Structure 1
């Protein structure tokens, strides 16, 4: 889990970030595991916990249940070099579901540098991120760009994420369970699988 950059780079040269092939079918609900909770920040400094999921105890008798996403795509990037990988999944996903109110997409950048996680630097960094994302105001409302600061060792361990140079894609259902997973740069076949599985999630009761 704590191996160095050059080990990740050597592995990346072997498979181009394709840790494994993406799922071809939707993982059955009974076999799916829950995605670990973690905190993220928007560029304006507001924070929330992901994944956003249905909780019968919290939403019983509450109209906000209808606003919860039925399907959520989480795109995880630990290094800037993996952004192209993330885009290969998120762009077609947005094209397919941008008009759906039941789908959400989060692109999460993980920042683990001790210096960048210090509060004054963190605030400055978020302010810079906000300026750089001003051109994205016309994007779909379901697309959220967020940042997660701090040590993510145990988070990565739970998800078995070792290579920090690759991109990691998770499709979650409304209960926060992992129903599909992809890695690295998307192939056309894998994109088709993702879109098909997301459509199936929207049809689940």
Structure 2
């Protein structure tokens, strides 16, 4: 960078040389070229060093690249085929309040054009979890959040959300969110995003929400320790935004039974 800076300053240095001849004749103490060169290069010094902020960004980018490359697509495929999407066992009992962690904040959009943020929490602070019209949505006592990172896992999400609403929909205290992640930069651009949302299905059930998360979701996945993107991730979230139960892949009868039991506990809490 210094070499390019010297070349760019060449014409100005030659102009400074012309003034330097007069200074030497008159007995000047320091040639103008030297003064100009030192001042010009001193001006460039802050730009020649990488700022701490940029260094931190590069370090994070390198760490992410290493992390993303540590697993391959074929490794994910192998894992899914081996256990049919069950990368871990679902909870059999409800997660105690003291051990429950908060579901990470996630901005979403619906095909109806509504913007919302999960988790919905009771008595949210100003600016959080508001709808597009500025109103605060009704917070469900129990929310089932089903995450799909690839189209192959959307049916897995439905295997949980539909039985869940069949069991508790009449109470009007639960909601199900089927979240699809769209990481394509093209579909995430404003014009195509609107067209994409208009083409997506709309649910006739007001308690069942098909919603979409656009853009990069790496930090969100890291918070939930999500690695394999080919399976579904299911979370039962309470009215304070805490994860109280978790499942994976497609639902089994036994897992639906444990989900139902845990959701019943939340509905009975005051």
Q: Do the structures match in fold with TM over 0.5?
A: yes
SS of match in other structure, 2:196: helix
Give the alignment partner of residue 11 of structure 1, picking from 72, 75, 79: 79
**What do the CA deviations read for 1:59-108 (whole angstroms, capped 9, x no partner)?**
xxxxx999421111101001110122112111210110111221111110
Tell me the TM-score normalised to structure 2 length: 0.68
Alignment check: 8 A CA contact 1:109 1:148 kept:
yes
Give the Å deviation of 1:57. 5.6
Aligned to 1:166: 231
Distance 1:120 1:153, change over 3 A: same
Q: How many residues align?
A: 194
Distance 1:148 1:196, change over 3 A: same
Aligned to 1:52: 120
Distance 1:57 1:153, change over 3 A: closer
Give the Å deviation of 1:195. 0.6
Structure 1: 5+ residue stretches without partners? 59-63
Matched, 1:142 2:213: no
Higher relative contact order structure (alpha carbons within 8 Å, sequence separation ≥ 6): 1
Query: Could you tell me how far apart the structure 2 residues matched to 1:174 and 1:83 are?
Result: 25
Distance 1:55 1:184, change over 3 A: same
Query: Could you tell me how far apart the structure 1 residues matched to 2:99 and 2:241 are?
Result: 13
Aligned to 1:93: 164
Which structure shows the higher strand fraction?
Answer: 1
SS of match in other structure, 2:186: coil
Give the Å deviation of 1:44. 2.4
Query: Could you tell me how far apart the structure 2 residues matched to 1:160 and 1:15 are?
Result: 19
Matched, 1:189 2:254: yes
Distance 1:67 1:164, change over 3 A: same
Which structure shows the higher helix fraction?
Answer: 2
Tell me the TM-score normalised to structure 1 length: 0.89
- Structure possessing the higher radius of gyration over alpha carbons: 2
